[in-house]
Amino acid sequence: MRDAVLRCAWLLLVLTMTLPLAPGYAAGRAPLILTGPANIDVLGSHFEYTTDPDWQLKVEDFAGASPVATAPIPGPVPDFGYTKAKIWLRLDMVNRTADVDEWRFFVHANFTQQIAVYRIGADDAVATLLDLTEDTPFSARPIDNPQMVAPFDLAPGEAATLIVAYYSQGASRLSMSVETPESFAAQTRLSEAKSYAFYGMMIVMIALATVALVVLRQRVFAAYAAYLLSVLIYVAHADGAAFQYIWPNFPRFNSMASVVAGSGVIVFSGLFAITFLQTARYHPVMHRVLQAVVAGVLAIDVILWSTDPQLLKRLLVIMISVSALCCLTAGLVAAWTRFREVRFYVLAWFAGLIPAILFTGRYGFGFEPTIITTYDAIRLALLFDALMMGLAIFDRYNHLRQSAMEDTLAHAQRNLALSQRLASLEESYQQVTANARQREESVKDTVHDLRQPMHALRLSLRQMFSAGADKATDVGQIESALGYMERLVAERLADRPASVPAGVSHGAGNLEAGQGGGETGEPGLHDVLRGVADMFASEAADKGLALRLVLAAPDAGVPSYPLMRVAANLVSNAIKYTREGRIVVALRRHGSGHRVEIHDTGPGLNGAAFERALMRNQRLERDRAAADGSGLGLSVVKEIADANNWRLSSCAGRRTGASILIELPGASADLRRR
């Protein structure tokens, strides 16, 4: 019996020693049985690991009879925090499928500073499936995919061991899976569809923000576009599309691209919050907090970029959540006083806080959601965040536009009121100016009209006191001159309405109150013309001219004062410009009315010369040397004649001398003195 037991034991020992060794089975954990694709939840229970702080291990150390001691990974996903050690993973597996012999070891990451995947067969032969460093361009990857993929062969029934060695300057957390070519292609198509949908929407929003910046020239659109661009680059980098298409030949930049894009997200989100919320104006405390976040991120980048990139990446993971929380807090503070203006901003940062927390939870604390993948959740939250930010800007712009329209309307109403007041003032000013001009012209006319009788009065007084003078005649002339001047002064100094021009009578062409020929004691045509003749008799005689009065028509009522001014001006001009000969003042019938005629033997005045002489302040060149004058005489006569509906004309048939005619209509001629 004892011999039989010894023989059985010996047989078992021989059988054990002669069986082929399955690498890794001695490690104590059952191998992965491949019946199809295996995700990280399956792989996690079969992975074993060891860390190599001194970077001394080689893949050959995991083959043969004395493999490196390994232990189960501490969680469902390989995650060893931020470590400077090189990490080695071991996965034993057996293919139990019937017809699949091609596989893909899929590392769900775009880049690590170093990663190598080896296959150790049953004969301890080592095959390198993937070997990438931070200097490896994208084109060196065995499969053209944004993320890292190692193809390998494993026939049905065959066993093998996969060794994964990697080092990450950032977080060491890596999700992995074993895929068939079909499942890998399906995952790739799904991932590309989600990525490109995200890229497309982000690019559209960036384009709209850029157009708005160019058209509206608002700084908030610049911060918004820069924030969107940073988010797009960061997600594209995380997907690996950035390394695949934008900088495939600059792997060392890919090593720090997450720092550049992540810092851009933090900085531009802070600047967007500062600009959109106008924190410097409304919320100075939050303004300083946001400035501190932006400055802190930039300071961390500058200090740690070259000295400790791993610590830099670790701090940025935390700063992303800090930044999102500060932006949300600033929005809530603003919403306390002006919710309607910042409502979409608050929604944006509630959404923006979600990817920040997921990102920090995944890489800082190993949290992994089970309902949706982290990056899918991040993409959705970022899309919503970007959309709400855009709506916030346009909503605010709409409020500003409405406010501007209200301000413009109020401004226009104020301007209209001011314009109306200004127009009223302009009208008043024009009226005052016209009145002042009228008064000025009236004063000039008065001075002109007074000059003539004053001169006649002076001559009459001289003759009166000279020896041998006809006292009765002189007294009559003085009386006429004084009466005319008194009437002129009384008329000019009277308080007349401003709308009635000087010399214009109320009810022109008819008798004025107290002035017309129909009033008792008012002089008629004969008396007016006699008074004018008496007034200028001495002046004519002093110049050696004969002054004759011819009354060839019956007397009639007339606005005596205007007619006296007209006749006085015409007789004065005739005396002034006649060197020798005579002057005739005549009254004749003219149709149903009368006509007053002033004839002289001077240089003559008709045609164009007469029309020019009627203009105010205009003198003929030929008359400038003959006598002094102001150019007012005939213009005053014309104004008075027009105001009383009298027709003023010059006789064009005379060869020498001038004949000025004043036609008085029948309405005036029918008024007889009582």
**CATH code assigned at 29:** 2.60.40.2380
> Are 519 and 561 in a shared domain?
yes
Q: Give how far the C-alpha of residue 509 lies from the chain's centroid of Cα atoms, to the nearest Å.
A: 65
Compute the average pLDDT of residues 565-573.
86
> Are 111 and 197 in a shared domain?
no
Residue where a domain terminates, one of 382, 403, 424: 403
> Are 172 and 205 in a shared domain?
no
435 is a domain residue: no
> Are 46 and 170 in a shared domain?
yes
- Enter the DSSP assignment of 38: B
318 vs 520, more confident: 318
453 is a domain residue: no
> Are 376 and 510 in a shared domain?
no
Angle at 597 between CA 595 and CA 600, to 5 degrees: 170
**Where residue 552 sits, what CATH number does that domain have?**
3.30.565.10
Nearest-angstrom CA–CA distance, 572 and 585: 12
499 is a domain residue: no
Nearest-angstrom CA–CA distance, 241 and 233: 9
Which residues are bridge partners to 613 per DSSP? none
What confidence category does residue 662 fall into, taking pLDDT thresholds of 50, 70 and 90? very high
> Are 140 and 209 in a shared domain?
no
Return the structure tokens found at 321.
Answer: 């959540």
Residue where a domain terminates, one of 403, 432, 451: 403
644 is a domain residue: yes
437 is a domain residue: no
521 is a domain residue: yes
| pLDDT for residue 531 | 83
83 vs 505, more confident: 83
Dihedrals φ, ψ of 493, to 5°?
-90, -5
Q: How far is CA 43 from CA 48, 76, 122, 199, 558, in A?
A: 10, 8, 20, 31, 131
> Are 159 and 240 in a shared domain?
no
If DSSP codes are grouped into helix, strand and coil, which group holds residue 125? Answer: coil
> Are 59 and 138 in a shared domain?
yes
> Are 562 and 613 in a shared domain?
yes
Other beta carbons within 10 angstroms of residue 65's beta carbon come to 8
pLDDT tens, position by position, 595-635? 999 998 888 777 777 777 777 656 665 555 555 555 566 77
If DSSP codes are grouped into helix, strand and coil, which group holds residue 527? Answer: helix
Compute the average pLDDT of residues 420-447.
75
Which residues are bridge partners to 119 per DSSP? 127, 162
Complete DSSP assignment for 431-485: HHHHHHHHHHHHHHHHHHHHHHHHHHHHHHHHHHTSTT--HHHHHHHHHHHHHHH
8 A C-beta contact, residue 227 and residue 269 = yes
444 vs 258, more confident: 258
pLDDT tens, position by position, 5-38? 344 443 333 333 333 333 333 344 689 999 999 9
DSSP H or E stretch at residue 70: none
| pLDDT for residue 17 | 37
pLDDT tens, position by position, 234-278? 889 988 999 999 999 999 999 899 999 999 999 999 999 999 899
Nearest-angstrom CA–CA distance, 174 and 75: 12
8 A C-beta contact, residue 473 and residue 537 = yes
**Where residue 312 sits, what CATH number does that domain have?**
1.20.1070
Q: Give how far the C-alpha of residue 426 lies from the chain's centroid of Cα atoms, to the nearest Å.
A: 34
16 is a domain residue: no
Q: What's the pTM value of the predicted model, to 2 decimals?
A: 0.58
For the chain, give the mean pLDDT. 80
Of 334-338, 375-379, 542-546, 549-553, minimum mean pLDDT range = 375-379
CA torsion 141-146-152-153 (nearest 10°) is -120
Q: Total structural domains in the chain?
A: 3
8 A C-beta contact, residue 126 and residue 60 = yes
383 is a domain residue: yes
Burial of 351 (0-12, 13-18, 19+ CB in 10 A): buried
Angle at 117 between CA 113 and CA 120, to 5 degrees: 155
Q: Give me the domain span that covers residue 80.
A: 22-179
> % helix / strand / coil in the chain, to the nearest 5?
55, 15, 30
> Are 46 and 111 in a shared domain?
yes
Complete DSSP assignment for 566-626: HHHHHHHHHHHH--SSEEEEEEEEETTEEEEEEEESSS---HHHHHHHTSTT---HHHHTT
Given a cut of 60, is residue 174 above it in pLDDT? Answer: yes
**Residue pointed to by tokens 């009466």:** 483
What confidence category does residue 579 fall into, taking pLDDT thresholds of 50, 70 and 90? confident
Residue where a domain terminates, one of 128, 158, 179: 179
> Are 149 and 296 in a shared domain?
no
Compute the average pLDDT of residues 277-293.
94
- Does residue 670 come out as left (phi exceeding 0), alpha (psi in the -120 to 50 range) or beta? alpha
> Are 144 and 239 in a shared domain?
no
pLDDT tens, position by position, 493-540? 554 443 333 333 333 333 333 333 444 456 788 988 888 888 888 888
Nearest-angstrom CA–CA distance, 420 and 631: 40
**Residue pointed to by tokens 């009788």:** 453
